[in-house]
């Protein structure tokens, strides 16, 4: 059943056409992801549906009883309300809600549900005033209110911003099973792929709809572009022939000649396919010497809360590191100590003389809204060195999609995404050999992220990334620093998906092990109860050594695991010898060999422990 229809919608902002005579509809069961470059009109489309933008051309028809719940990009709050009261009040006053009477009657139930969802989104103290929350916390509070509302259509503008990885995974599961329709703007490609059954791209004022997830969209869009370019090439060949005919002096004296001229003019005036412009990034990095950044037993605490405890790590010259952990665990604190903004409570950090470090911060509040775009870039440098030589600040702006008109606009007039893209431009102009990216995917469109990922593929230097975007982490980093309770920071060799998979497997094993051990303990207790008097009376009860459920399973397979690791080591040694002259391949194989050796060593240690325990069990 159709819930909402839009026909012939057009919308302009100043002199820029955002939507031009577009049609759009939402049906029951739709899970729609809206994508497009920053400033293309994605948020404006959501605001029209939500009723926030009323001055547009065209018609929108919504079902009489259809309720819409909307999460805007920048929510507005009553700063004096408590967090919990805000969520409850937003749901009581929801305009047009079919359940308004029921909500009034069941406020206590609503309060319980509000407390649950706020807790799930990381809010422990729900009595705090909204005015004291950070920007990210406010967005999460608005998300809680939006999800709690009973709605037929859920509109979400960048819902994953400011969520940590665990919350991101929870929201993904929640929306996958959501009963109503979903229309969402997000840059998170894994999120799109696993949540949506339809992708709508906003491009050049038009909407292109694809009935598939994000992976399917990539395939179908490529097919559309290939077909359009093929047709355009054929028309170009015909046009060249027609032009040659016209240049031979033909005159419009006959019906046949008039037809020729008409065809030529139609082909000449035919609108050509223009591929969407994308950001170009090829600024170079500075040379990095042997000494990089050495972290020596650093610790950092705030009051009695220890964020980082006795952490040591030395970065290699081409390290690509992701940093994982829940919000507030100390990720940004760590990079602030690495960059020199903060000092550790104990321990020290040594930085090599050749290190040129740049930080793409989560909040670019230092941007002066009164500056023009071109002046903001020129303030860093008039000319920038790239792999192709030197280019001017104006040319650099054009590579980041700020053309002549936009270059002379004030920063205040840019969208949030355009500001972040400008900020990225300035950071990369510094030619850093140590690049720290703190939540780079917030407010950057997918096209810009794809180009940034391409750039980072060949980046010669140290890359440190904090991100909740799982796809971005998988594309850009090879190791993970994970924050754990008590301030412990651990190194994980592998991608985010490797880490996530291993964590889920360990959690599943632990859960099964806990059940098995619990059952065993119950049986032991019951048995002890039957003959408890005798055992307690003579005081001769002995603790019997035995395997846990997990240990028993591990003991059965560990020899096979060791054999597999040894075989893999032998294969890698052979490949290393065969690729001695290929530096890139050699480095990759060497890293794999080191990781495999470390795994084998741990397996052997575990094997000896289990063997000793088996000997004790068998007497």
**Whole-number Cα distances in Å, 2 to 6, 26, 62, 79, 517:** 11, 6, 9, 38, 53
> Dihedral through CA 454, CA 457, CA 463, CA 465, nearest 10?
50
DSSP assignment of 134-168, as one string? -HHHHHHHHHHHHHHS--SEEEEESTTTT--HHHH
Q: What's the pLDDT tens digit per position in 488-502?
A: 999 999 989 889 888
DSSP assignment of 57-103, as one string? EEEEEE-TT--EEEE-SS----TTSBHHHHHHHHHHS-TT-TTHHHH
Lowest mean pLDDT among 185-189, 296-300, 389-393, 537-541: 537-541
The more confident residue out of 470 and 566 is 470
Chain length of the chain: 619
Cβ atoms of residues 36 and 121 within 8 Å: no
Cβ atoms of residues 202 and 40 within 8 Å: yes
Cβ atoms of residues 358 and 430 within 8 Å: yes
Residue 521 has pLDDT above 50, yes or no: no
Task: Using DSSP bridges, classify how beta strands 293-302 and 346-351 pair: parallel, antiparallel or unpaired.
Answer: antiparallel
Residue 238 has pLDDT above 50, yes or no: yes
Task: Using DSSP bridges, classify how beta strands 383-386 and 320-324 pair: parallel, antiparallel or unpaired.
Answer: unpaired
The more confident residue out of 401 and 498 is 498
The more confident residue out of 320 and 584 is 320
Q: What's the pLDDT tens digit per position in 411-423?
A: 988 877 788 888 8
pTM: 0.67
The pLDDT score that the predictor gives to residue 517 is: 47
Lowest mean pLDDT among 15-29, 103-117, 189-203: 103-117
- Helices of type H across 162-213: 165-176, 189-195
C-alpha 116/C-alpha 112 separation (Å) is 6
**Unique residue bearing structure tokens 């705030």:** 302
H/E run at residue 233: helix 214-247
Mean pLDDT, the chain, rounded, equals 81
**Unique residue bearing structure tokens 């404006």:** 44
- Helices of type H across 403-495: 404-407, 416-428, 446-457, 470-476
Q: What's the pLDDT tens digit per position in 332-368?
A: 999 999 999 999 999 999 999 999 999 998 776 678 8
- Helices of type H across 339-469: 373-378, 393-399, 404-407, 416-428, 446-457
Residue 143 has pLDDT above 90, yes or no: yes
C-alpha 206/C-alpha 210 separation (Å) is 13
Cβ atoms of residues 331 and 480 within 8 Å: no
Structure tokens, 267: 């082909």
The pLDDT score that the predictor gives to residue 250 is: 46
47-56 CB contacts, 8 Å cutoff, 24+ apart: 47/72, 48/6, 48/9, 48/11, 49/4, 49/6, 49/153, 49/155, 49/183, 50/155, 53/11, 56/9, 56/10, 56/11, 56/19
3-state SS assignment for residue 189? helix
Cβ atoms of residues 435 and 464 within 8 Å: yes
The residue among 475, 473, 507 whose CA lies nearest residue 325 is 473
Structure tokens, 280: 């170009």
Can you point out the beta strands (E) in 325-441? Answer: 346-351, 357-360, 383-386, 389-392, 434-438
C-alpha 353/C-alpha 293 separation (Å) is 10
C-alpha 253/C-alpha 242 separation (Å) is 17
DSSP assignment of 541-591, as one string? --PPP---HHHHHHHHHHHHHHHHHHHHHHHHHHHHHHTTT-HHHHHHHHH
C-alpha 8/C-alpha 59 separation (Å) is 7
Q: What is the mean pLDDT of residues 54-70?
A: 92
């Amino acid at each position: 059943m159709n819930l909402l229809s839009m026909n012939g919608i057009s919308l302009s902002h100043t002199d820029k056409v955002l939507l031009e005579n577009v049609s759009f509809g939402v049906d029951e069961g739709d899970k729609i992801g809206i994508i497009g470059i920053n400033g293309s009109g994605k948020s404006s489309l959501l605001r029209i549906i939500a009723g926030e933008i009323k001055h547009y051309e065209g018609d929108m028809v919504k079902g009489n009883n259809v309720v819409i719940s909307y999460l805007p990009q920048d929510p507005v709050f009553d700063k004096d309300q408590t967090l919990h009261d805000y969520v409850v009040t937003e749901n009581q006053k929801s305009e047009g809600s079919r359940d308004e009477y029921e909500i009034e009657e069941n406020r206590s139930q609503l309060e319980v549900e509000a407390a649950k969802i706020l807790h799930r989104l990381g809010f422990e103290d729900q009595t705090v005033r909204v005015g004291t929350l950070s920007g990210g916390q406010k967005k999460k509070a608005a998300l809680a209110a939006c999800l709690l509302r009973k709605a037929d259509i859920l509109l979400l503008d960048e819902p994953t911003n400011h969520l940590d990885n665990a919350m991101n995974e929870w929201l993904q599961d929640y929306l996958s099973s959501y009963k109503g329709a979903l229309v969402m703007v997000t840059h998170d490609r894994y999120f799109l792929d696993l949540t949506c059954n339809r992708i709508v791209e906003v491009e050049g004022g038009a909407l292109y709809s694809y009935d598939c997830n994000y992976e399917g969209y990539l395939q179908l869009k490529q097919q559309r572009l290939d077909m359009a370019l093929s047709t355009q090439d054929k028309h170009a060949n015909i046009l060249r022939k027609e032009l040659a005919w016209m240049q031979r002096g033909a005159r419009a004296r006959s019906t046949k000649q008039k037809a020729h001229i008409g065809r030529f003019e139609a082909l000449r005036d035919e609108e050509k396919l223009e591929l969407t412009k994308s950001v170009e990034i090829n600024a170079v990095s500075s040379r990095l010497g042997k000494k990089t950044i050495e972290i020596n037993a650093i610790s950092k605490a705030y009051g009695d809360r220890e964020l980082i405890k006795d952490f040591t790590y030395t970065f290699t010259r081409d390290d690509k590191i992701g940093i994982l952990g829940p919000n507030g665990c100390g990720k940004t604190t760590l990079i602030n100590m690495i960059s020199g903004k903060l000092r550790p409570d104990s321990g020290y950090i040594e930085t090599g003389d050749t290190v040129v470090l740049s930080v793409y911060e989560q909040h670019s509040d230092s941007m002066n809204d009164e500056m023009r775009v071109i002046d903001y870039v020129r303030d860093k440098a008039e000319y920038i060195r790239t792999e192709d030589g030197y280019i001017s600040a104006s040319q650099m702006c054009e590579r980041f999609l700020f053309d002549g008109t936009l270059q002379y606009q004030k920063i205040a007039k840019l969208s949030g995404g355009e500001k972040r893209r400008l900020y990225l431009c300035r950071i990369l102009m510094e030619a850093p050999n140590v690049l720290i990216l703190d939540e780079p995917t917030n407010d950057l469109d997918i096209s810009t992220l794809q180009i940034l990922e391409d750039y980072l593929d060949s980046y010669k230097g140290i890359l440190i990334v904090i991100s909740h975007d799982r796809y971005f982490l998988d594309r850009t980093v090879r190791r993970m620093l994970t924050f754990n309770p008590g301030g412990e920071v651990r190194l994980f060799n592998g991608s985010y998906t490797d880490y996530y998979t291993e964590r889920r497997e360990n959690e599943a094993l632990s859960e099964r092990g806990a059940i098995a051990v619990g059952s065993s303990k119950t049986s032991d207790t019951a048995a002890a109860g039957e003959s408890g008097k005798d055992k307690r009376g003579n005081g001769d009860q002995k603790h019997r050594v035995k395997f846990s459920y997990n240990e028993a399973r591990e003991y059965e397979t560990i020899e096979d695991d060791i054999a597999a690791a040894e075989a893999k080591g032998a294969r890698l040694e052979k490949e290393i010898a065969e690729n001695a002259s290929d530096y890139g391949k050699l480095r990759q194989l060497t890293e794999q060999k080191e990781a495999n050796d470390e795994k084998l060593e741990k397996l052997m240690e575990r094997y000896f422990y289990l063997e000793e325990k088996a000997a004790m069990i068998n007497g």
